[in-house]
Amino acid sequence: MNVTGYSRVSTEEQAREGLSLEVQKIKIQQYCQLFDLRLVAECEDPGLSAKSLDRPGLQYALGCLRDGSAEGLVVLKLDRLTRSVADLELLLTEYFEERYKLISLNEQIDTRTAGGKLMLRLLGVVSQWERETIGERTAIALQHKKSQGQQLGGHGFGWRLIEGKRVPVEAEQAIIKKMRAMRHQGKSLQAIADWANEAGVRSLRGGKWYPKSISNILS
């Protein structure tokens, strides 16, 4: 059977899981050699997420199925192909239900069998359930922290986070008060930034002051 190999990584995934494109391609090549599958094309999408099927490498691989040059698609892991149950169902309906075959090595899925098609759908449903559950837990945890008065996110100039709560820094608050007074006097943002730089006022990160940073503080 003629097949197309497909590999994908996003920057975060490559760093976290070591699923480099080269590793995926080698494993797909080894599988095809072992099971006498003819690898007619190797397609890849470097640095792209699986949130959409609109990826050049994937579309080329699917095009190989449509034009008859390949009868199946081989991936190392199902999430290289998609992380969306809706997109998975679309791929099954339009490609892998009857006409073409999908093989995923890690999950040992082979849609040349009825059991393989069933397992593919089950894994997709479980994957979406896991993502939604994580999202719910995260939302509950953030809501609890907010109800306890904890500050979510970072802090700005004039403030520090202590045990999750924003606490004013008196010296920096005095500088903010001075900046506000200068602004009320008609001074431009650039003039206030120049004053802060000349006076040796340290920004939160220790860098220079700019009109945009002054604007952020005053707003």
Active site residues: 10
Q: Which two tokens stand for residue 29?
A: 């090549």
Residues 28 and 75 sit within 8 Å (Cβ to Cβ): yes
Instruction: List phi, psi (to 5°) of 97.
Output: -70, -45
Q: Please state, in angstroms and rounded to a whole number, the distance separating the CA atoms of residues 179 and 158.
A: 12
Spell out the residues 6+ positions from residue 84 whose beta carbon is closer than 8 angstroms to its own: 50, 51, 128
The helix-helix angle for 170-184 and 189-198 (nearest 10°) equals 140
DSSP annotation of 150 reads: P
Q: Please state, in angstroms and rounded to a whole number, the distance separating the CA atoms of residues 8 and 113.
A: 25
Strands 109-110 and 159-162: unpaired
Residues 72 and 37 sit within 8 Å (Cβ to Cβ): yes
